[in-house]
Amino acid sequence: MARTAVLGLPRVGPDRELKQALEACWAGRAGEAELLETAAGLRAAAWRRAEAAGIDVIPSGDFSLYDHVLDAAWAVDAIPERFGGPGAEGLGAYFAMARGTDDARPLGMTKWLDTNYHHLVPELADGQAFRARPEHWVAQLEQARGLGIPTRPVILGPFSLVRLAKGLSRPLEALESLVPVYADLLAALAVAGASEVQLDEPCLALDPAARELDAALEALEALAGPRAPAVCLATYFAPLDDVAIEGLAALPLGELHLDLVRGPGQLVPALRELADGEARLSLGVIDGRNVWAADLDDALARIDSATAALGSERVTVATSCSLLHVPYEAARETGIPEEVRGWLAFAAERLGELRVLAEAVEHPGRRDELLSESRARLASRRASAHANDPAVRARAGAITDADHDRAAHVEERRRAQRARLGLPELPTTTIGSFPQTDEIRAARRDLRAGRLEPAAYQRFLEERVAEVVAAQERLGLDVLVHGEPERNDMVEYFGQQLRGFTFSEHGWVQSYGSRCVKPPILHGDVSRPAPMTVPWWRYAQSLTVRPMKAMLTGPVTILQWSFVRDDLPRRETCRQIALAIQDEVLDLERAGAAIVQVDEAALREGLPLRRAEQDDYLRWAVDCFRLTTAPVRDETQVHTHMCYSDFNGIMDHIARLDADVLSIEASRSGMGVLDAFAEVDYPGEVGPGVYDIHSPRVPSADEIERLLELAEERIGRDRLWVNPDCGLKTRGWSEAEAALANMVEAAGRRRARTPAAA
């Protein structure tokens, strides 16, 4: 019979227990023993939940104290010298790689392919020696066995580890060096009792060149040998092409997993190539990336095709990817409208969907009974007023090409804006948020609990805004922000004021390390009933004569960082959001805002993994950004911000945003990201981040000045702004003020140098 499998489970805890344990350990309020005890308890609870749901293949080793890519680098002893080098031991070295120290910058961080999860970037070197350190997986395998639960260890594969790393000029040589080390890892797991191991190779879907694919297949063939447990090769987030499927099907794998949510077209060639073999085919038919209850009839149609071709004993019914990306349990969300809650499936409900599918395969005569609830959900959603607003559809349908264009060229706008603003060269600013202190979070909790009256909460927030404005004036910043104390999250804050969104109370997912987010649930057509930020901007601007930036989140980022409806094309939903944000931009301009920042932190993140799909996405995504800002006057300066910036190959699209000022993350790359601006004659102004806000370390004025010098060489002082990499909400006030003071000092030093002498 067909078996069920989960590729990975959530790990932060239903109530963010891992976050709390990590931060207590880092702050010295608890020891490592308490952290490890919490982690063990969370793993045990997750395994028991999957076992109770009847899941046949339960993962282990996917649980991480910080990041699974970091775990893979640690497991092959790829530890840079600044953290102790190869052989370093202990959580101190492990967390130093993730968070840095006073003397050592952390590993770089970027998005996990096209998700909103962030992974650390391994640093490898040509000719580097590796060795196997399997303790992470062996310990979790043994813990689960002690509970009477057999599990399948999950390891990031060697091809993806090399592909995601930096520092290699000959990555395929490093892959060759890693193969015997991975063989040792698998052998150690076999000795520890693992009968199967899941090797995750999502990078096989990233259009590998023929030489890369051949090297990856050769490596995987070597690993699927007699010393190893059966290898389940897992790919996800994008479809494999026919050549890759053919190559993988020829390997002695125990199982091949395909993401049929993102790539349903893979099924036919996979069945053809696997028909005469013995390997199982794992069908990723339950979406691990989104929260909408599955169309089980559609999933069963794919399962039926597979069982007809291979036999049910060679079929696994699985999630498309790890459930790391979804919250724990929708049934807890009593604050969501009952009808909408019925459309949702978080991790617990995903396990239930797998069980129903397995029963439907086993008992075809009971399918109508088993699928009746699923069918009723889908019918309710299609007809519901919660999902459909004819007025919004009509407005979006009336958009023309001209609605995306500003009236004047960027050079003409620059002259008008400089005359209005009167800023010095190398103007200093921040990205938007200031520290979200314990006091702010406590006030927000008290408001929700009814312990603080709304009027008192308003006064409290106004005091915080006044403090932020005064601090910026004291520091000498040129363009100020209000600090965003009223915003719990840069997407949730706006979603709460837009129609078409709903919000969970417990829907936390991991973003990186101890950082968790609670994505809005975008279930219907989007519109803006009333101004969202104008009163806060007016109040903040009344406190200063310096320009006050108005801060908005852009349509692509709101789309990308929400759980987006799957019953409408994403571009259509994004266009609806763009029109709602456009309404806010125009209201801010009418209120007197001279600078409006529309953040698109997730523009690059949303890029499809397959190159053939990227231009189409970038066209409509950039058009949606342009739609938000096109109607403003020439003298209104439009800023946008992007973090984790990798613009190689897409600079034409970045230029087409037509923003007046683009601020980007640049410090971890030592301004190397600016090399991409040489690809095009970039017309706008640029604010490359001069220090990393994800680390607690405070850079010196000398360090920042060196970065500014590098930026001037690439961009030119006349078009350069000075700002941190990102917002400051996760930092403490002492760190933020010290770093900003050094930033302002460094900018002043550069101004004192004439460009010729610089």
Shared domain check, 577 and 479? yes
Phi first, then psi: give them for residue 754, nearest 5 degrees: -70, 150
pLDDT at 644: 59
Residue 404 maps to a domain: no
Shared domain check, 108 and 66? yes
The residue-averaged pLDDT of 93-119 equals 93
Please give the structure tokens belonging to residue 123: 């640093």
Residue 346 maps to a domain: yes
**Range in 103-107, 241-245, 462-466 with the lowest mean pLDDT:** 103-107
Shared domain check, 454 and 567? yes
What Cα–Cα distance (Å) separates residue 687 from each residue in 272, 289, 421, 652, 681? Answer: 52, 33, 17, 18, 16
Domain membership of residue 160 as a residue range: 3-327+340-383
User: What are the percentages of helix, strand and coil residues in the chain, rounded to 5?
Assistant: 50, 15, 40
Q: DSSP state, 331?
A: G
Quickly state the pLDDT bin for 358 (edges 50, 70, 90).
very high
Shared domain check, 305 and 444? no
Above 70 in pLDDT, residue 26? yes
In contact, 294 and 261? CB cutoff 8 Å: no
The pTM of the full predicted model, rounded to 2 decimals, is 0.89
In contact, 296 and 258? CB cutoff 8 Å: no
**Nearest by Cα to 274 from 227, 240, 298, 229:** 240
Shared domain check, 352 and 437? no
Shared domain check, 568 and 422? yes
Residue 757 maps to a domain: no
% of the chain exceeding 70 in pLDDT: 99
* Range with the largest mean pLDDT of 44-48, 491-495, 515-519: 44-48
pLDDT at 755: 66
Shared domain check, 482 and 353? no
What Cα–Cα distance (Å) separates residue 389 from each residue in 69, 556, 568, 569, 570? Answer: 43, 21, 13, 15, 16
Residue 28 maps to a domain: yes
Above 60 in pLDDT, residue 100? yes
Which of 118, 325, 386, 694 is flagged as catalytic? 694
Find the DSSP H helices in 285-437. 296-310, 338-341, 347-362, 367-383, 390-397, 410-421
Residue with structure tokens 């931060």?
Answer: 23
Find the DSSP H helices in 100-230. 135-146, 158-164, 171-191, 210-223
Residue 18 maps to a domain: yes
Above 80 in pLDDT, residue 553? yes
Give the C-alpha separation, 554 to 592, whole Å: 20
Q: What is the pLDDT of residues 632-653, one digit of tens each?
A: 999 999 999 987 567 778 889 9
Above 90 in pLDDT, residue 658? yes
Q: What is the pLDDT of residues 149-162, one digit of tens each?
A: 999 999 999 999 99
Shared domain check, 687 and 557? yes
Domain count, the chain: 2
Q: What is the pLDDT of residues 738-756, one digit of tens each?
A: 999 999 999 999 999 876 4
Q: Which residues contact 234 (CB under 8 A, 6 or more apart)?
A: 7, 154, 198, 199, 200, 201, 202, 257, 282
Triad 112, 357, 310: Cα angle to 5°: 85
Please give the structure tokens belonging to residue 396: 């979006």
CATH classification at residue 685? 3.20.20.210
Q: How far is CA 468 from the centre of its chain?
A: 28
The residue-averaged pLDDT of 720-742 equals 95
Quickly state the pLDDT bin for 380 (edges 50, 70, 90).
very high
Q: Is 694 a catalytic residue?
A: yes
Shared domain check, 426 and 320? no
Quickly state the pLDDT bin for 498 (edges 50, 70, 90).
very high
The residues pairing with 541 across neighbouring beta strands, listed in sequence order, are none
Quickly state the pLDDT bin for 225 (edges 50, 70, 90).
confident
The phi-psi region of residue 282 (left if phi > 0; otherwise alpha if psi is between -120 and 50; otherwise beta) is: beta
Give the C-alpha separation, 49 to 41, whole Å: 12
Sign of torsion over alpha carbons 389, 395, 400, 404 = negative
